[in-house]
Every structure is written in structure tokens, then in C-alpha cells.
Amino acid sequence: MTDVLLVSMPFGPLFSPSLGLSLLQPQVHARGLNCRVEYFTLPFGERIGQALYSKIASEHRAMSRAFVGEWIFSHALFDWSRAHDERYIAEVLVKPPSWLGRSITHPPGRADLRAIRAARSAAAAFVDACADRIVEQAPALVGFTSVFQQHLASLALAKRIKARLPGTVIVMGGANCEATMGVETVRQFPFVDAIVSGEADHVFADLAVRVARGESIDAIDDLPGVVTQRTVAAAGPAFRPPTAPAVTEMDALPYPDYGDFFAQFGRSRFDTSWQPSVFVETSRGCWWGERMHCTFCGLNGATMAYRSKSAARALDELTHLATAHPGCDIQVVDNILDLKYFRTLLPELARRKLAVTLFYETKSNLKKDQVRLLRDAGVTTIQPGIESFSDRVLKQMKKGVSGLQNIQLLKWCKELGVEPIWNFLLGFPGESPDDYTQMADLAARVCHLPCPIGVTAIRLDRFSPNFNESAQLGFTKVRPLPFYEFIYDLPDAARRNLAYYFAYDYRRPQDVARYAEPLVRSVHAWKTTWRNAELVSVDLDNRLMIFDTRPRTAAPLTVLTGEDRALYLACDAITEGARLDASNAGRLSSLTGRGLMVAEGGKYLSLAVPIGEYQPSGAAAARLRRMIGAIGTRDRHGVRIAIDAPAAVGADLGRPNDRARYARTVARRPGRARSAPTSSMTAPLTRAHFEMSGANELYVRRSVS
């Protein structure tokens, strides 16, 4: 017999364990109770296939945005008609976003629709099988984690457990159970005995002990943050539950226990072909949100206060996870990186060189040495919160950064080998269409930098300032997003209380689709036809050579010397023009006009990525090599390019017929070349390939021994 059974239902992460359940399990064990975690994500992933599961669970996929996962398992809880289902597919799933003149999120194709319908048909039988497994173990308490698209599957299973084991206590927690959403869950679904609103660390083990002792469920509603059926029945419709006490001493938390996940993963068919990743947290809350809450962000709810682990504890935990789960990526779930870690944790990680790759969320106003330190510490992927290049739009978001800072970070990430995950966010009340025209134009100048995932209109998330202060901030007619109608067969008021994502109208109408269209087109090109563009520099013998394969290049090669070179190198980081010699204004203007720099508010930033720590490779290297060959003279070992002393800011090198040949060569779309690139064409292009072979001749070697 199991005292406590913790459950992770679809569509939780398929190849990662639940951090929340893995933190609660050792706390329950410490109180002398038996506790297991069941991952029903794995057998359902096996049933519908990894590809479909991942499309549904991925935050940036059309299926996820339509809440396909919740719709599938709503059929194990509600009795929907076929007509209702077809309305969902037509009006929500395959309908393009109404705010875009051109959709960049492709709806599911016919094969995916067939697979989705099959998954829907299998949902009820799958939940029945899950209930059989739980009944075999006869737990005293079953605890569900509910985040993202796990609510309907959890409710469907909870209903079956309660019907077959009436004495088993059902408790739910997680982001979908916070505040109003949790109260409404208890109110609408009587088979849920209790929810925990907020962080469960300080209450769940006590709750489990009381249940294991045989105490009535009504005896646990004195625990802070715990809401029971009796609590809701005694309260009025506007009842707002207290939040469970937040963890203040992060070092006191146990290490997460991922043993049950890896045991179940090892028995699955995924074991031979997929490598799991694991989660770790080094902080909770958001130090930026404490100061200035980003208007669109609904994270943290009532737990915004920032708390972090000591560097020693964080290092020990990361070392433990790297040792216990070798080869696994470690994704840090923190809302934001603790800045103190640049002085403490990250240097030590860099020194120890743990065999791990880490993910962190950061702000975008990082310094170059901080990006380098992240890389050296094994943080190879970051989510820096780049949502716009417009200072005015960023100010509306309360991001506390500038557009130039966002571009600067993208450049340094490319140079230093850190992958930034980011997207454009638009649709703020009163924003200027001119900002989007300018950003569409700017995209062509920075298309050699890491591209965004896409362009996304804001939605109103519960707990965000945009939701809490919607009228003051310019929104009206706030209502749950359309998919909620198709997953909850409940009154409108109940659906509103269960919803986390909301649609809206503008108090003053604005045509987002019209003014966003140029940016949407530019981002589409950035991700497709422009994706192998390069703007790189090589500094040799006091000459800075800038090679350019961007689509709107002014010149394939520009050479800067003297003051021009010094200015360009000085603006590797954002530099105020006022700090530079006033006589350089014309030079800066010329560099900006040629698309080699960007400027905003009297500040300048060079755009070329130095070849050194960054080495172009693959299709980008092949395009650069073709361009170099087009403007120079080939021999058996490489290409010679004659360099005349530049007259002013830069020189467009190559005779007119060479430039025309270059344009024809580099304009070929990737994958459309007449012959496949050879290995030497796609090999990394390093500084060692470049040398001055005479006073005015650059030699680019074909290969380096």
C-alpha cells in the first residue's frame, strides 16, 4: 500500500521529470511516509508518438496555443458532441491568428488532424488504464501537479479514482490551481477534495501526515493555502484564498528526487533513442518584477518576492545532478538569473567545467564579459526577454532596456556561442505603427544575428498588470480565449475563473494586423531566405575588413583604416556619440548609412561579428566563401583580393563586373545551389584563413593545415 502517490499527467514534459513533485517527494519521505511519483506522460507519449506529443506540448506551436492537449482530455471528463468538436477544429485549431495579416504559425495539416482525433478517441480509455494502476496501489492520498496543459487530464483521472476509491483524498496544486483558479476547481469538481494555492513546500507534507493518520479532509483546511470543499461551501462566490507561505530559505529545500522518472523512462520505448533533461531551480520570484512588473507577465502570482540559493548550495546541487544524470541537459527554471551569481556561482562553474549544458532566463542588458562567463560556465542557451527593438514599445512593457541593448546582446551571443531564445511581442494599446515599419527595416540589417522564434500578439495573462489593470491600460471586453469554451462544459462565469489566458478588445481601436504585416514579412524572411546571411569582420595589420552577405548589402567588402577603424571597434558596445570626437559625426553617419552600424538617440553600435571566437560554418561559411571568390582572384590554394587605400569611411572593393558576379552568386537561396557545397566550403572559417600577403593584398586560404 502506498501512503502518497504523486501524479504527472499529459501534457506535462515528456522527457523531463516534474520539479514540483520531485521536491515534494523527499519532504514526504522525511516524515516517514511511503511516496511514489507516477509519470503517465510517458505511456501516453508512447501511445500517440513523440512527434505529436511534442507539438502539443511545445509552447510555441499552433497546437499548444489552441490548447489541443486540454481539448483531447476534456473528452475523458465531458460528453462533447461531434458538432462541437468540429467547431473547435474549424474555429480554433486551424483558424489562423486573427491579428496577423500573414500567419507565421502553420496550423496542423491533415495528418496531424487525423492523429489529434485519434488521440481524442483514445483519451478516455487511457485515463481508465491510469486509474487501474492507481487502484492497484490503494494510496491514501493522490496529489496532482497541474501546469500548462495538465488540468483536464488530471481532473478526468481524479474523477475515476474517487469513484473507485472513495476514501482516497485527492489534492491538486500547481500554476493552474493558484488563487481563483484553484477555488473554482474545487467548486466545480466535487471529486477534488482540496487544492494548494501557492508554494506547497511548507504545507504538503503536513497535509499528507494528517491524511495518513486518518484525519478527515475537513481537518486540514486550517493549513494556509489549502482550500477544501468545506472551505468553498462556507465562503461566498467572491472568496479569495490565502496563499501558502512562500519558501524564504531556499537552501533548506531538498534536492529533487528524479529516481521514479528515470526508472519509468528506462522501461519506456524512448530509452534507446532519447536523452532526458532535468530541471533545477536556484531562485524563485523575480527581482526585476519586484521593482517594475512587466505589463504582460503573469508569472509568480502572489510570490513575486525574489529569493535565491547561496552559490555554494546551487553549485552542490548542480554537481549532484550532473553526476546522478550524466549526459542530461539541465534547465534552470528560475524566472531570472541572480546577478550575484556572476561573482559567485558562474565563475566556479567555469572553473570546474562540469559536463553539463545549462539554460537560464536573464535580462537582456548583459555586458559582454557576462555573456562570455555564461558560456564558460556551461550556460549555452538563454531566454533574455527580447521582445522588441523599439524603445517606445519596450517602455510600454516596462522592460527597463533599450532596443540597442537587445541588438547588442544578440550580436554578442552570436560571437560568443550562446543561443538566445526570443520573440517579437506586439499589440500594446496606443503603440505607434511607425515603430513596426522601422523594426521591419531594421530586421534586414540585423538578419545575420540570431533570429526570433516569431511574432506574437500579447494575450492577457491572469496576474499580469495588463489583466489586473486592463481598463487603465487601454483594454476592454476582457474574456477567456475561445478555446476555453471547447474544454469546459461549464457556465461562462466558471470558465472565466478557471482561465489563465484572456482575449480583449482595445478601448481605442488599432489595426494591429495592418501595421504588423511588414515586420511579420521581415521575420519570415529572416527565418528562411536570410537565415545564412553574415556580417563579419577580420582585423589585420590595422585594417578592419568587413564581409557582408546580407540581402541589402551596400558592398560585399568594406575596409576601414585609421579613425574609421578605431571608431568601429570602439562601438562594439553601445557608445554615445557625444563621448567621441565631434569631428567623427560624419564618419559615424556614413557607417550607419551603409548598414554597418545602427544608431538610436545619439548612441551607436557596430553590427559586424568578429571572426575569432565566432567561426562561420555550414551554409553561412559556404556563402561567405562564394562571395570572397567572386570579388577576388582564385588560385589553387585560395583567393587574392587587391585592396586599395579607402578614400573615406569604407571602400566597396571589386570591379563592377565582380560585384555583379557576386550578387548573382550569393543571391542563390540555400538548398537551391547548382551543386551541393563541398566539405571545404562548409568547414568553419577562422582567423587563420586570412592573412595580408602584401601591403595591399588580402589572401584568404581555402584551408588551414
Residue-wise pLDDT tens digits, 4-58: 999 999 999 999 999 999 999 999 999 999 999 999 999 999 999 999 999 999 8
pLDDT digits (tens, 9 = 90+) for 369-400: 999 999 999 999 999 999 999 999 999 999 99
C-alpha cell at 447: 538578419
All CATH 3.40.50.280 domain ranges in the chain, comma separated? 4-51+125-234
pLDDT digits (tens, 9 = 90+) for 171-189: 999 999 999 999 999 999 9
Q: Is the pLDDT of residue 417 over 50?
A: yes
Q: Is the pLDDT of residue 547 over 70?
A: yes
Q: What is the pLDDT of residue 101?
A: 41
Task: Report the CATH fold assignment for 275-422.
Answer: TIM Barrel (3.20.20)
All CATH 3.20.20.70 domain ranges in the chain, comma separated? 275-422
**Cβ-contact 460, 502 below 8 angstroms:** yes
Kindly provide the b/e burial profile for residues 515-532, where b requires at least 16 CB atoms within 10 angstroms of the residue's own CB: bbbbbbbbbbbbeeebeb
State which amino acid sits at residue 84: H
Q: What is the pLDDT of residue 63?
A: 79
Query: What average pLDDT does the segment 499-511 reach?
Result: 95
Question: What is the C-alpha to C-alpha distance for residues 40 and 172, in angstroms, rounded to an integer?
Answer: 16
**Cβ-contact 545, 644 below 8 angstroms:** no
Q: What is the pLDDT of residue 105?
A: 61
Q: What is the pLDDT of residue 354?
A: 87
Average pLDDT, the chain: 91
Query: What average pLDDT does the segment 331-357 reach?
Result: 94
Q: What is the pLDDT of residue 96?
A: 66
Question: What is the C-alpha to C-alpha distance for residues 627 and 476, in angstroms, rounded to an integer?
Answer: 53
Q: What is the pLDDT of residue 667?
A: 33
Going edge to edge, which strands form the sheet with 535-540? Answer: 557-560, 543-548, 535-540, 609-610
Query: What average pLDDT does the segment 328-355 reach?
Result: 95
Which stretch of 67-81, 211-225, 311-325, 537-551 has the lowest confidence by average pLDDT?
Answer: 211-225
Question: What is the C-alpha to C-alpha distance for residues 617 and 623, in angstroms, rounded to an integer?
Answer: 10
**Cβ-contact 88, 68 below 8 angstroms:** no
pLDDT digits (tens, 9 = 90+) for 465-488: 999 999 999 999 999 999 999 999
**Cβ-contact 371, 413 below 8 angstroms:** yes
Which stretch of 26-40, 122-136, 212-226, 636-650 has the lowest confidence by average pLDDT?
Answer: 636-650
Neighbours of 586 (CB within 10 A): 10
CA-to-CA dists, residue 104 to 447, 519, 526, angstroms? 17, 11, 12
- DSSP string spanning 234-295? HS-TT--PPPPPPP--GGGSPPP--HHHHHHHHTSGGGGT---EEEE-SEES-HHHHHS--T
Question: What is the C-alpha to C-alpha distance for residues 630 and 638, in angstroms, rounded to an integer?
Answer: 12
Q: Is the pLDDT of residue 660 over 60?
A: no
**Cβ-contact 153, 76 below 8 angstroms:** yes
Q: Is the pLDDT of residue 365 over 90?
A: yes
User: What is the band of 98 on the pLDDT scale with cuts at 50, 70, 90?
Assistant: low
C-alpha cell at 625: 566563401
**Cβ-contact 98, 107 below 8 angstroms:** no
pTM here is 0.92
User: What is the band of 553 on the pLDDT scale with cuts at 50, 70, 90?
Assistant: confident
Task: Report the CATH fold assignment for 4-51+125-234.
Answer: Rossmann fold (3.40.50)
Kindly provide the b/e burial profile for residues 359-393, where b requires at least 16 CB atoms within 10 angstroms of the residue's own CB: bbbbbbbbeeebbbbbbbbbbbbbbbbbbbbbbeb
Q: What is the pLDDT of residue 655?
A: 35
Task: Specify the DSSP class assigned to residue 457.
Answer: E
Q: What is the pLDDT of residue 677?
A: 44
**Cβ-contact 147, 11 below 8 angstroms:** no
Q: What is the pLDDT of residue 679?
A: 61
pLDDT digits (tens, 9 = 90+) for 424-458: 999 999 999 999 999 999 999 999 999 999 898 99
φ, ψ of residue 535 to 5 degrees: the values are: -135, 100
| Alpha helix segments (H runs only) across 145-192 | 151-164, 180-188
Question: What is the C-alpha to C-alpha distance for residues 660 and 474, in angstroms, rounded to an integer?
Answer: 52
Match 570591379 to its residue by C-alpha cell: 655
C-alpha cell at 13: 514534459
Q: Is the peptide bond before 265 cis (omega within 30 degrees of 0)?
A: no
Question: What is the C-alpha to C-alpha distance for residues 521 and 100, in angstroms, rounded to an integer?
Answer: 10
- Nearest of 306, 356, 259 to residue 37 by alpha carbon: 259
